[in-house]
Structure formats: structure tokens, C-alpha cells
């Protein structure tokens, strides 16, 4: 068992860190809102720290799951950042979905500090984190990945190194691009079924067994039909991710017309007051349009 630090205890990070503590690792947690760290320790045990640096001291692995590029920089760098507390040879594993640019920046900074940096964004949502069934896509040096793999396997159903530093974030962009189109297609299908006077559940029961079937259909169709959107991955975060996808697509010359369109649809949902709704709320936009 290893001495670990986990930075960020949101709907994803909290359960992930919990799995590590339950597996017998010695986990110290940090969260910007200290009350969350205190609640986590009360629930799982382990220890809390006042700063990322303090949490990282003596840790073989430091895991992070925070909000965005700036949040990640703030927990990694500076006098109170994790890098300042990590010892040579330790490994920083970033589970945040961020830009490839900040990944490159922090990978270089970690190398300068003689520590390893693995970009390891996750997919599977809150349910995947709570059930320990996340898909983890990784980039970074192979040796660092191999060392960190047994730790990440505690809360994953698949964890794979795709390539060098940044490959994990690029793969997460592929994931979000695919999801955007799937959710819009599912929304239109369910909206069409309702307008046609069909039993939406019966329709899905049939079409989900054929080529139309998907994780989104299996896990979200009922709540979409019932107008229930207070679970899963929020629209605000999806727009952040799609912005990264679109910016990167421009940089590498990849055409993403459907992604750009769906991003604007999510903007409409935000205007409806649905920024914290689950991403499956795209169907509400169609209902509003009639």
C-alpha cells in the first residue's frame, strides 16, 4: 500500500479518493473548501491538509481532480503547490479535463522538479466515480504510467496509456466530441417519439437493442423522458470541455462542425437556467422550441 495525496474532492474526486482509502492506501486529502476535506475524513478516515504542498509531502503519488486549467495550476505550482512538496521520483497524476497546453506546461515543470506527470482524464461521470468504474485515458512517460497503474485501477474499469504527454487529454477530447453528438441525437429521437405520440420507453426498449444503442441511451433515456436533470455531468462543465475541443481542433486543423453546433445548443440551455443540469438536458431545448 502507498502513501497518497488527493487534491480536489468534488463529485468525482471525493469518491475516487474514498476508493483509495478503502483499498488500504494512506490518503491525505486537500480541498479548496476545507469543510469538504473535513467531511471526507469523517466519512472515510485518512488525513486532511491545509495546502496542496502539505498534502503532497512524503507521498509517492499525488492525484488531482479539480475544475479547469487555472485550478490545476494553482494546486501544482507556487509556494503552497504540490510540486513544492513532492520528492524526486514521485508521480503526479492529473484526472482533471484540461487543455493540452497546460498539460505540456506542467509536464515540463514536473520534469524540472525531477518528478513525473501523467495526464489521466476520466470518463464515466459521477456514477462511474462512485462505483469505481471509470475509463481512464493516459498520456506521459511509460515508466510513470506503469508505476501509477495499480493505484488508478482501484477506481477504473479500464486504464490505458495512449501515448506521450498530452495524449490522455487529446483522447478525452475525442470522448467529449463523441458524446456531444450522441446526446443531441438521443434528444431528437426521444423528442420525435413524444411528438409522434409514441411510448418513449417502449421505443427505447426496441431500438436500444440494435445499432442505435449507447451508454447514453441505456443510462439517461428514462430521466430525459421524466425531465430529471439533477445528476451526472453539468452543462457548464461540458461547455468548458467542448471549448477546449474546438480550440484544439482549430490548432490542429480538425473540422468539428457538429461539435460546434452542439456547443451552441448547450449555450441555449445555459440561457434557460440549465447550467447545472446534466448534459442530457439538451432535450429541454427542443421542448422549448416546440
User: Which positions are catalytic?
Assistant: 172
214: Cβ contacts below 8 Å, ≥ 6 apart: 182, 186
CA 162 to CA 34: how far, in whole Å? Answer: 35
Backbone angles phi, psi at 28, to 5 degrees: -115, 130
CA 263 to CA 235: how far, in whole Å? Answer: 10
- What secondary structure letter does DSSP report for 280? G
Antiparallel, parallel or unpaired: β 116-119 and 47-48: unpaired
Q: Identify the three-state secondary structure at position 277.
A: coil
Report the half-sphere exposure of 274 (CA within 13 A, side-chain side).
25
Contact assessment for residue 58 and residue 3, using Cβ atoms and an 8 Å cutoff: yes
Radius of gyration of the chain (CA): 20
The three-point CA angle 235-170-215 to 5° equals 50
258: Cβ contacts below 8 Å, ≥ 6 apart: 180, 181, 184
Q: List beta partners, residue 118.
A: 93
User: Nearest Cα to 108, choosing from 119, 122, 98?
Assistant: 119
CA 255 to CA 104: how far, in whole Å? Answer: 23
Contact assessment for residue 5 and residue 59, using Cβ atoms and an 8 Å cutoff: yes
Amino acid at each position: 500500500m502507498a502513501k497518497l495525496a488527493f487534491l480536489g474532492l468534488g463529485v468525482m474526486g471525493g469518491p475516487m479518493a474514498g476508493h483509495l482509502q478503502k483499498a488500504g492506501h494512506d490518503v491525505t486529502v486537500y480541498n479548496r473548501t476545507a469543510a469538504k476535506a473535513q467531511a471526507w475524513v469523517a466519512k472515510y478516515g485518512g488525513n486532511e491538509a491545509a495546502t496542496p504542498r502539505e498534502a503532497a509531502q512524503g507521498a509517492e503519488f499525488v492525484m488531482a481532480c479539480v475544475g479547469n486549467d487555472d485550478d490545476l495550476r494553482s494546486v501544482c505550482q507556487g509556494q503552497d503547490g504540490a510540486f513544492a512538496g513532492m520528492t524526486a521520483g514521485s508521480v503526479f497524476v492529473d484526472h482533471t479535463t484540461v487543455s493540452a497546453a497546460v498539460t505540456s506546461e506542467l509536464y515540463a515543470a514536473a520534469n524540472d522538479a525531477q518528478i513525473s506527470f501523467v495526464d489521466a482524464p476520466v470518463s464515466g461521470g459521477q456514477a462511474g466515480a462512485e462505483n469505481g468504474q471509470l475509463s481512464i485515458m493516459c498520456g506521459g512517460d511509460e515508466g510513470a504510467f506503469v508505476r501509477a497503474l495499480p493505484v488508478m485501477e482501484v477506481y477504473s474499469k479500464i486504464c490505458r496509456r495512449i501515448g506521450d504527454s498530452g495524449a490522455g487529454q487529446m483522447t478525452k477530447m475525442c470522448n467529449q466530441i463523441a458524446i456531444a453528438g450522441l446526446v443531441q441525437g438521443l434528444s431528437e429521437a426521444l423528442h420525435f417519439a413524444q411528438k409522434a405520440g409514441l411510448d418513449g420507453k417502449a421505443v427505447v426498449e426496441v431500438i436500444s437493442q440494435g445499432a442505435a444503442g449507447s451508454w447514453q441511451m441505456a443510462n439517461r433515456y428514462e430521466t430525459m423522458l421524466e425531465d430529471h436533470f439533477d445528476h451526472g455531468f453539468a452543462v457548464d462543465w461540458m461547455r468548458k470541455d467542448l471549448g477546449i475541443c474546438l480550440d484544439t481542433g482549430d490548432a490542429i486543423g480538425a473540422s468539428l462542425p457538429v461539435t460546434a453546433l452542439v456547443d451552441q445548443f448547450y449555450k441555449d440551455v445555459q440561457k434557460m437556467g440549465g447550467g447545472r443540469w446534466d448534459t442530457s438536458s439538451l432535450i429541454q431545448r427542443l421542448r422549448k422550441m416546440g
